[in-house]
Structure 1
C-alpha cells in the first residue's frame, strides 16, 4: 500500500519520476551556442571594409562646401541639405576608388611597412569582395547623382570616378600625369558644391584650389620618396623615376602659384569699401601664407606623407586655419 503522504501523478507514479520525465519532454530544446569565431569574423570583415573606405580621409570631401562658402551661401537649410547630399555622394565615390585601388595594389602594399596593415593587403578583406563593394558604391553614387542632382553635378561625379579608375589602372604609372590626376581630384571636390548649387566659380578660386592641391600631393610624394629611398620603390614603382629634388621643386612651385592666386583673388575686391570695419579679405592673405609655410615645414622634413594627419593633428596649423576662417567669414558677412 503506498504511503498516503506521497503525491502521485495521473499515471500513479511519484512526481519525481514519470511526471518529471513528461515535463522534460515538453521543455524546449536548448539552443546551440553561437559560434563566436564566425561572428567575430563577420565583424572583422565589415570593419575591414570600412577601414578600406578610409573614414579619416572623408574630411577631404568637406571641400564640397568651399565654393558655397566663398560665395557666402551657407545660410539656408536647403543649401545645407544639398551640400550634405553631395558630400555623401562624393564620399561613396571616393570610397569606391579606395576599395578598387587597394585591391589592385594588395601585392605591392604588403612590401610597405605601414600599408601592409591595410585590410586587403593583410588578407582580412578578400580581393574579389573589395572589387565588388567598390563597384557597387561607385555605380550607386553615379546613379544617385543623376537622379537627385543636376546634370552637371552627375557629369562631374561620373568624370571623377572615370578619372580615378583610370589612375588606378594606368595613369598612376605616368610621370607628372599621376600628380595632376590626384590634384584634379581635389579640385573636383571643390568645384562640385558650387556646380550643385549653380554658383559661378571664380578663376582665382580654381587656380588657388588646384595648385594648393598640387602642393599637398607633391609634398606627399616627396615624403614617400624620402622615407622609401632604401626600398627602391617597392611600394610605388614611379617613385624610382622621380628624384627628391624634382618633387621638392614641384611642391615649392605649386605653393608659390597657390599663394599668388589667393593674393590676386583677395586684392581683386579692393579695400573695405563694402562696409566692413577692416579689409578682412585682404588680411586673410597673412593667415593663408602662414598656413602654407607651416605645412611646408612637414613637407621639408619628409613627414607630410599623410596630409590629413598633418592638418588634423598639428595644433599651430589648426589655430592658423581657425584665424583664417574667422577672417574669411567676416569678409563674407561684411563685418
Structure 2
C-alpha cells in the first residue's frame, strides 16, 4: 500500500487549491459554488496522480541514475511498470468521470490538462524551455478550471501572470537541480539543461517573475475597474 501512496503523491494534491483562486475575485464562498470548486479539486487530484504515475513509469531509466529519485516506487522495483500504466489509465478515467459528474463545466480544462500532462511525460519535458512553460500552463489550467466550473471571472492578465509565475518557479527548480550535480557531471539524465545554461536560466527566471508581477497588477486594475 505504501508504494502506491508514494506513486500517487497525495501531498501534491494541495496544488489543486489553485482552483479556488478565481473565487477570490468572483462569487465568494456560496455553498453551490464551493461544491463545484471542490468537485474540480477532486477531478484534478486524480488527473495529477495519473500524470505523476505515467511520468515516473516513463522516467524509470533516468530515475535509477539519480541519487534520490532511484527510491521512487517504479525506479526501485516496488511497483512494476505494467501496473503503473494500467494505474495511470484508471486514474485518468476516474478524473474524467469525477469531472463530468462533479464539475461538468470544467471538463474542457480537465481534458486539456490530461492531454498536456501526457505530452509533457512523452517528450516535452526533454525540450529546452518547453518543459518549464508546459508546467506553467498545467498549473494555470487549474485556475482556469476553477473559473469555468464556478462561473467566476478569470482575466487574460491573470492567466499570463500564472503561466509566467509558475514557469519562473520551474526554472528556479532547474537551477537548484544543476547546483546539486555531483562533481564531474554536466547534467542530470533526462534533463535538457547543463551547467552552461545557468546564467541564461537565472536571467529568464527574473524576466518571467517580472512579467508575472506586471500581469498581476494589470489583473488587479481590471478587477477593480
TM-score with structure 1 length normalisation?
A: 0.63
Counting only pairs closer than 5 Å after superposition, residues 153-302 of structure 1 correspond to structure 2 as 153-228=106-181, 230=183, 231-240=185-194, 243-268=197-222
1:151-191 deviation digits (Å, cap 9, x = unpaired): 5x212111111111111111112222111111100110111
Task: Indicate the structure with greater helix content.
Answer: 2
After TM superposition, the structure 1 stretch with the greater mean CA deviation from structure 2, 208-217 or 181-190, is 208-217
How far the C-alpha of 1:241 sits from its partner, in A, is 8.2
How far the C-alpha of 1:242 sits from its partner, in A, is 6.4
Whose RCO is larger (CA < 8 A, sep 6+)? 2
How far the C-alpha of 1:70 sits from its partner, in A, is 2.1
TM-score with structure 2 length normalisation?
A: 0.92
Matched, 1:55 2:55: no
| Structure 2, unaligned runs of 5 or more | none
Cα pair distance change 1:186/1:270, threshold 3 Å: closer
Q: Say which one has the larger Rg.
A: 1
Distance in structure 1 (CA, Å) of the matches to 2:103 and 2:220: 31
How far the C-alpha of 1:129 sits from its partner, in A, is 1.1
Task: Please give the secondary structure, in 2, of the residue aligned with 1:196.
Answer: helix
- RMSD, matched Cα: 1.9
2:165·2:208 contact (CA, 8 Å) conserved in 1? yes
2:109·2:142 contact (CA, 8 Å) conserved in 1? no
1:123-169 deviation digits (Å, cap 9, x = unpaired): 11111111111110002212332344335x21211111111111111
1:212·1:255 contact (CA, 8 Å) conserved in 2? yes
1:226·1:244 contact (CA, 8 Å) conserved in 2? no
How far the C-alpha of 1:223 sits from its partner, in A, is 1.0
After TM superposition, the structure 1 stretch with the greater mean CA deviation from structure 2, 198-207 or 213-222, is 198-207
Cα pair distance change 1:141/1:205, threshold 3 Å: same
- Specify which of 59, 66, 70 is matched with residue 112 of structure 1: 66
